[in-house]
Amino acid sequence: MDKVILGKTGIEVNKNGFGALPIQRISKKDAVYLLQKAFYNGINYFDTARAYSDSEEKMGAAFEYTRDRIVISTKTAAQNAEDMWKDLEESLTKLKTDHIDIYQFHNPAFCPKPGDESGLYDAALEAKKQGKILHIGITNHRIAVAKEAIESGLYDTLQFPFSYLAADADLEIVEMCRKAGMGFIAMKGLAGGLIHNSACAYAYMNQPQFAHVAPIWGVQRERELDEFLSYQDCPPALDGALLAEIEKDRKQLSGDFCRGCGYCMPCPAGISINDCARMSLMLRRAPQEGWLSPEWQEKMKKIEGCLHCGKCMSKCPYGLNTPELLAKNYEDYKTFLK
């Protein structure tokens, strides 16, 4: 079973981490089953967030009696110390634990530091002193914030989008973390649903230069979990067939494409930007029927009501021209309805 040491934290986790965002979408019973199946098959690292509705509660229910045998990270999107304390207490209660192993600032637009106006870092330090959190981490989608966090030396871990579609700038972040002795937690290892070959995704992450990278796979279905579990005993080799697959994906998914992160939301016109702005890709890379349903047609039609306010563009960490991307995807979508 491949293991990862999360930098200076010294925490050792299974190379398969469990991203608990998608369990929001399934029943509590199914979520508990999935989480416990993961645990009893060797997965020992589970990542969630205060913002993932009932995900923490489901994890609390799954691990009430095995808490000391797993590593938990969660996140706060608080913008000030007072709200962070509220979030932390809520997370501890929902997760049925007295401590969080890695407590992360959830994609802040800036890098919290001691003595800054937000008071976030000082509050986290105090929580660490009280034993409520063991390590301080940060998650981000912005290269600049991620770099600042690494260079600051203030953080034990960085959670950042990383898959075999990574650009050179992303690879630089991964390498910077390694040099700084920071744990690198890879989110979006399947590029938000655009990568379908989990063997390719696992094999890519399992290369020696990424020995410090801990992917957290967003798992919702048992068969998805089973795929990742199967790689523990038989790790897929990054050989000719898988490399060819990766190359094909890289060609198809190069350039300015929407990663589906949703940081541009909400949209005042009610557009589900994170799905609609990558519809062309989804139609070509997944079974089409679901995306062509009356419900999705309705959602896509909302693009006609775009106010061109630019709010989405200003929040997109990838610098995308989102309204333009939406318009292109809508035109393409209509051709599938003919």
**What is the spatial distance between Cα 83 and Cα 153, in angstroms, rounded to a whole number?**
24
- CA 310 from centre of chain: 25
Interface with ligand SF4 by CB under 6 A: which residues? 258-264, 267-269, 271, 273-274, 277, 306-312, 316, 318, 320, 322-323, 326
**CA nearest to 46, candidates 214, 166, 275, 246:** 214
Closest approach of ligand SF4 to the CB of residue 248, in Å: 22
Cα Rg, the chain, nearest whole Å: 20
Q: Nearer to ligand SF4 by C-beta: 39 or 162? A: 162
**Residue whose structure tokens are 């006609």:** 304
List Cβ neighbours of 252 (8 Å cut-off, separation of 6 or more): 281, 284, 285
Closest approach of ligand SF4 to the CB of residue 277, in Å: 5
Q: Give the three-class secondary structure for 66.
A: coil
Contact 165, 250 (CB under 8 A): yes
Closest approach of ligand SF4 to the CB of residue 333, in Å: 15
User: What DSSP line would sit under 260-282, residue for residue?
Assistant: ---TTPPPTT---HHHHTTHHHH
Q: Nearer to ligand SF4 by C-beta: 102 or 277? A: 277
Q: Nearer to ligand SF4 by C-beta: 10 or 268? A: 268
**CA nearest to 127, candidates 70, 86, 182:** 86
Q: Nearer to ligand SF4 by C-beta: 138 or 312? A: 312
Closest approach of ligand SF4 to the CB of residue 196, in Å: 19
Closest approach of ligand SF4 to the CB of residue 270, in Å: 8
**What is the spatial distance between Cα 150 and Cα 81, in angstroms, rounded to a whole number?**
22
Q: Nearer to ligand SF4 by C-beta: 44 or 322? A: 322
Q: Nearer to ligand SF4 by C-beta: 237 or 307? A: 307
**What is the spatial distance between Cα 275 and Cα 260, in angstroms, rounded to a whole number?**
6
Closest approach of ligand SF4 to the CB of residue 30, in Å: 27
